Each structure stands twice: as C-alpha cells, then as structure tokens.
Amino acid sequence: MTKISGADAMFQVLYDWGIDHIYGLPGGSFDSGMNGIYNWRDRIKFIEVRHEEAGALAAASEYKMTGKLGVCFGSAGPGAVHLMNGLYDAKYDKAPMVAIVANVPTIYQDQGRFQAFDEKPWFDAVAVWNHQVKSKELLPVMMDEAIRQAYAQNGPAVLVVPKDFGWDEIEDSFRVNAANHSAMPNYPEPRKEDVEKAVALIKEAKKPVIYYGIGVRGAGEELKEASNKFKMPIMSSFLGKGIVEDSFPANLGPIGRLGKKPANDVQAQADLVLWVGNDSPFSPDFFPKDAKVIQIDVDSKKFGKRHKVDVAILADGKKTLRAIIDAGEEKAETPLYKAAMADKENWNAWVDKFRDSEEMPVRPEPIWDVINKEADKDAIFAVDVGNVVIDFNRLMTLDNHQIWSTSGLYATMGYGAPASLAAAQLYPDREVWNLSGDGGFAMMSEELLTQARYNMHVLNVVFTNETLGFIEAEQIDDSHQPLSGVKLPDNDWATVAKGMNVKGVTAHNKKEFEAAVKEFKKMNGPMLIDVKYTHEMPYPTKINDLSNPEFVNKYQARGLRPFSEFAKEYGVE
C-alpha cells in the first residue's frame, strides 16, 4: 500500500470535497500542515491572511455567499485563539465551516510547553463538532467527519491536529464519499389542513402583512406573488434583504432600527402576519401582541419563539407559499395596503431630494446613489457592522444577481475586509465592494496587504465619520448618557492604503467619489476610497417623532409625513 503523510492525507480529503483554497497564517506547530499546503499548491490555493481572525471570518462568509463551506487554520496557542471570532460568527449565522487547529506534538502536550494548552475544551462552546485527532491513521477520517458535521449541523467544526501526526506516514487508503453529499435539504410539504387554515385567516384579515427572513432565500417570486394576490405589504429581517428586490412596489424593506420608516409604521398596524423563515431576535418588538400569526418554518423550535402563533406550518417555505397562493382567493387592496404604498412613496421622495446634496461633510444619499448606479449588476458586497448597515439597508437598491453578506446575529465589527477576501477568491471575475465604517475597518485594515498580495479586484469604501456611530446613537437615544468612548480620529485611510500597496483616494463629495469609482472600474487590483462622511446620525425609526419640531429639524425630516395622516386618508382603522 502506498504511504502518504498525515497532512497530505488531510488535504486529499479537502480536495476530494471540492475545496480548492484555505485561509491561514503559518506557525511552528503547523509546519507539517504547511508542508502539505506546499505539496498541494497546484490544487489548493493558500491565502495567507495577516491575522487568523480574518481567515476565520473569510471562511465563515463563504457559505453565506455560495452555500459551500470554507476552511481556515490557526497554529497552536495564539493562532488558535485568534480564530474564535470567526467561529462565533459562523455559529450565530449557522454557516458551515471547518477550522483546523494545530497543536504541539503529542509528546509535548500537557507539560506546559511553549504555546501549548488544552485546546479542545476551548472550542466546545462554539463548535458544532470539536475533536482532537488521537492517532495518525484517523487524520483523514476525522477531516472527512468534520466536513460532514459542519454541513449536517450548520455551523463550525473544529479539528485539532498535533504537529507530529501531520508528518507521520500512513497508508493512502482513505477516500471520501462526497459525491453523495446533498447541499439541498429535502424539507417536507405542507399539510393540506394547515394550508386551509392559513388561507382562511388571510381571507378574513383586514390588515395582513408578510414578514420573511433568510430562511426563505430562493422564494422571492413566491413572496411577490403572494403579496400581489393577497395585497399584503412585505417586510423582512435585515438578513432577508435582497430576497425580494428592493424595487418591488410592496417591499417595505427590513423592520427595526436598521429599517426604513414605512416598514416600521406598517408593522405596528397589522392584524395578521404571514411569518416565514424568520427568527430575528428583534421580532418581539414588532407587530401588535394580538395580531394573528401564520408561521412557516422547518424548525419546530421556532414556533411561538418570537410571537404567539395561530397556525404553525412545519414545512418548506417556498413550497408552502406556493400552496397558499394556489389555494387562496385574490383580495382587493385594503386601506392598510394603500396607506403603506403612500408611506413608501413619501419616504422615497424624501430620500431622493438629498441625492445631489452638496452638504459637507457629504450626506449618505449622494454616495449611495453613485454605488447604486455604478456597481455592476452582479457585484458582491461585503458589509461591515455599524451605521454602514443602516445606510446599506435603506439606500442600497439590490439587483437580483448581486450578492451580499454581513455578520448578522453575531454582528462583529471588522467583518467587511475578510469577507471581501472570500468574495474575491470565490468570484474572481466579479466586482467586489467592501463597505465599512472607519471603526470597523480599523479592526481588520491589515487585510489590505492580502488584497494587494493577491491583486484582488476589491473596492474598499471607508465611511469616515470619526465616531462609532451605531454606539453613539445608542448612548444618545437609548441610555441618554454623555458620549463616552465613541469618538475616533480623522485618519487618512488613503495614505494608509498607499503604504500597503493599494491605490488610495480621498473623496469629500459625490463628484470626487464618482470619479474614484470610475477609476477603479478601469484598473486591476484593489482600491480604497476614504469618504469624509457626515457626522450626523441616521434617521431614528425607533423615535420617529415627526410631531416634534426639534426632531424634524435635527434629522432634516421636513417633507416626511407621519403614518397617521396616511391612515386617515385611506381609512385605516
């Protein structure tokens, strides 16, 4: 029987699963792994990040963009610990990924040696599957199992590999059965009696709405058809953005602090919610407590978790929407539907009036108008955490072929740059945008070096507003405290980029930003645009006090109408 090193056997498994790249940073405890990477260099690309956290976040982002898991590694001790943030992002967003964690040789373990600690317990809380290889022969077997478990349990799997096992030779006899892996789960059909109950509630409702989340990704056409047939305004969780294109007339967008005014206005009026594929933790703050709910999900634990449920349908969301559409009768426009459309039109008109604003520092609307017009129709957006998600949510008009990802439930700052590495690797022929505030970008800014090293066509847009804006707004609006710890220096990110071999440009207004974007589109490799952004906070939908002149003046809200006016105009009870 042919002999093979444990590390080579491990990479054979990765390759057989269709994995053609891996993120990481070398360390002494992973020398045998690095030798395997060298041996497999023609088949598996090594992307050397500048921080292990970036590698883990990049691997976590891959499933969100493709439905295929990513792989990263870290060396013993600090390298292993640095992976943790990316692993928690994958855990919270239910993204399969595999982390290979190096350990010191077996003869040095449990002796307090250099960079050695008991690594397996460290990952117990975050991993869906977590094991240290106990014999060299098991290395390929356990690598295969890690991949299977990550997919099966929708989260991060961790494989701890002692350094010596990677060098040791074993028989080259293990082969995976990846060809039989099904990426598409076969969820159940809805029961006829449940569909009939749902249809009856929709028929009698006077103010029905649809509330969907990322769990119904791929069912955009069904959501639109249900909305059109039953005259139901639709709204989503933040992660559901893009499942239905933003231009769809009845799409009010996500609810909550990140959302637009119309979505927050209308959700408070609903008497029936068709709730599908959504487990947003903010949902208990939405909808009247006496509103009836039809909840569709493939996980029975979700039923009633966020709101009382009148009809629970344990079934595939896309199939169930189709069944409800086919079984139900078309409805006429309700007063709420008409008021919702008028509210949305009013909001859009208010936003539009700022698109060519020359206010300095530049407002969000002119910048996002350029992004909407200039971004390729199949562009990829890596969205960081902070006020940037509010602007992206409200002002970005996604095309059906565009892809975006963020750190959703875990919401870790610094996500944008690592996710852009993954996007550029996964889609080398498509345009990649990293959209980050100056606070988030500072956390992973070293990954500009990685973009430059691999000549990735990434446009890094840094919105410099000199504050941790999301936290500043919380301190002002929620806790009503003096600002503390949120202010940032006005850094010259264009100069930083140039020092990392990335084209750097500073933009103070719409014209300068547009010129820089057009320049990026003509060049190869990465660019950074440092946008000197407004210091004003986004319109606070949680407060939404249009009856208060001070509020209207502070947020330049003249022209926005309170929902009560639309309700009165269209006869909403």
DSSP-assigned letter for residue 533: B
Pull the structure tokens for residue 27.
């360390």
Q: Are 557 and 546 in contact (CB under 8 A)?
A: yes
Catalytic site residue from 196, 474, 512, 536: 474
In whole angstroms, how far apart are CA 559 and each of 300, 343, 350, 540, 546? 45, 12, 6, 16, 10
* Catalytic site includes residue 115: yes
Catalytic site residue from 148, 257, 322, 363: 257
* Amino acid identity at 289: K
Residue among 458, 202, 240, 207 at smallest CA distance from 324: 202
Catalytic site residue from 244, 385, 458, 572: 385
Put residue 525 in one of left, alpha, beta given phi > 0 → left and psi -120 to 50 → alpha.
left
* Catalytic site includes residue 62: no
Let me know how long the chain is: 573
In whole angstroms, how far apart are CA 338 and each of 244, 263, 330, 544? 20, 14, 16, 21
How far apart CA 321 and CA 211 sit, in angstroms, is: 12
Q: Are 161 and 136 in contact (CB under 8 A)?
A: no
Residue among 47, 13, 27, 293 at smallest CA distance from 159: 13
Catalytic site residue from 109, 115, 475, 556: 115
* Catalytic site includes residue 309: no
Catalytic site residue from 81, 298, 325, 471: 471
Residue 462's beta-bridge partner residues?
436, 530
Residues 6+ apart with CB under 8 A from 138: none
Pull the structure tokens for residue 434.
């990293």
Residues 6+ apart with CB under 8 A from 240: 212, 213, 214, 216, 217, 254, 277, 278
* Catalytic site includes residue 52: yes
* Catalytic site includes residue 107: no
Task: Indicate the burial class of 61 (C-beta count within 10 angstroms; 0-12, 13-18, 19 or more).
Answer: buried
Q: Are 321 and 226 in contact (CB under 8 A)?
A: yes
Catalytic site residue from 52, 53, 365, 447: 52
* Catalytic site includes residue 257: yes
Q: Compute how many other C-beta atoms are within 10 angstroms of the C-beta atom of residue 300.
A: 9
Question: What phi and psi, each to the nearest 5 degrees, are found at residue 28?
Answer: -60, -35
What 3-state class would DSSP assign to 436?
Answer: strand
- What crossing angle do the helices spanning 139-153 and 6-16 adopt, rounded to 10°? 30
* Catalytic site includes residue 358: no
The kind and range of the H/E element at 366 are: helix 364-374
Helices (H), 401-541: 416-426, 438-443, 448-453, 469-477, 493-499, 510-522
* Catalytic site includes residue 403: no
Catalytic site residue from 470, 513, 563, 566: 470
Q: Are 413 and 385 in contact (CB under 8 A)?
A: yes
Catalytic site residue from 43, 113, 114, 345: 114
Pull the structure tokens for residue 319.
């199939």
Maximum pairwise Cα distance, the chain: 83
Q: Supply the residues annotated as catalytic.
A: 52, 114-115, 257, 385, 470-471, 474
